[in-house]
């Protein structure tokens, strides 16, 4: 079970625009973090189950990049929402890393779509 996820970003403002667009569609809400430098933790979100996500500059001060193939997955409410989320990500400058569709190698009703953010991090959204 995913409790929280840090997502590295080189361009914090562009990253925030991307995650606002896609996480909003999954009912995540923005949270403020008290006592933490805004330039380090630009934005944080949680949803009704308490799962959290934050975008930040890497703590080691190295450029953000894809982290050893990590692709976090988030459940959507429907196949239509997978399409909507994927399109929202692309509209904010992400690239298509997996066009939404049925992935029969999982199950015959598992649908997913994957985007790659401006920093090269992938996010998978699924229904199934």
Q: What is the pLDDT along the chain (128 residues), one digit of tens a residue?
A: 465 677 888 888 888 888 888 888 988 887 765 555 555 556 677 788 877 777 777 767 778 876 644 678 888 999 999 999 999 999 999 999 999 999 886 778 989 999 998 888 888 898 97
Q: Distances from the Cα of 53 to the Cαs of 16, 45, 101, 123, in angstroms?
A: 11, 5, 25, 12
Given this model, what pLDDT does residue 80 score?
Answer: 98
CATH code, domain carrying 12: 3.10.180.10
C-alpha span between 35 and 116 (Å, rounded): 31
The pLDDT value given to residue 33: 57
- The number of distinct structural domains making up the chain is 1
- 13 sits in which H/E element: helix 12-24
3-state secondary structure at position 112: strand
65 located within any domain: no
Please tell me the distance from the alpha carbon of residue 68 to that of residue 93, in angstroms, as a whole number: 22
Does 120 fall in a domain? yes
The predicted pLDDT at position 89 comes to 97
User: For residue 115, what are the domain limits?
Assistant: 4-60+70-127
- Does the residue 26 lie in any domain? yes
Q: Give CA–CA dist 59/82, Å, rounded.
A: 31
Q: Are 128 and 106 in contact (CB under 8 A)?
A: yes
For residue 1, the model assigns a pLDDT of 43
Tokens of 23: 């996480």
Question: How confident is the model at residue 50, as a pLDDT?
Answer: 75
DSSP conformation letters of 47-93: -TT--EEEEE--TTSSPP---TT---EEE-SSHHHHHHHHHHHHHTT
CB of 123 closer than 8 Å to CB of 71: yes
């Amino acid at each position: 079970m995913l409790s929280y996820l840090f997502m590295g970003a080189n361009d914090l403002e562009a990253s925030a625009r991307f995650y606002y667009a896609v996480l909003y569609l999954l009912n995540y809400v923005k949270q403020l973090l008290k006592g933490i430098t805004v330039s380090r933790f630009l934005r944080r979100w949680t949803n009704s189950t308490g799962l959290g996500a934050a975008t930040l500059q890497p703590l080691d001060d190295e450029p953000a990049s894809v982290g050893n193939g990590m692709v976090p997955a988030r459940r959507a409410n429907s196949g239509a929402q997978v399409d909507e989320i994927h399109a929202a990500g692309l509209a904010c400058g992400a690239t298509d890393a997996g066009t939404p569709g049925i992935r029969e190698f999982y199950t015959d009703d598992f649908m997913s779509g994957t985007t790659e953010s401006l920093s090269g991090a992938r996010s998978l959204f699924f229904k199934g």
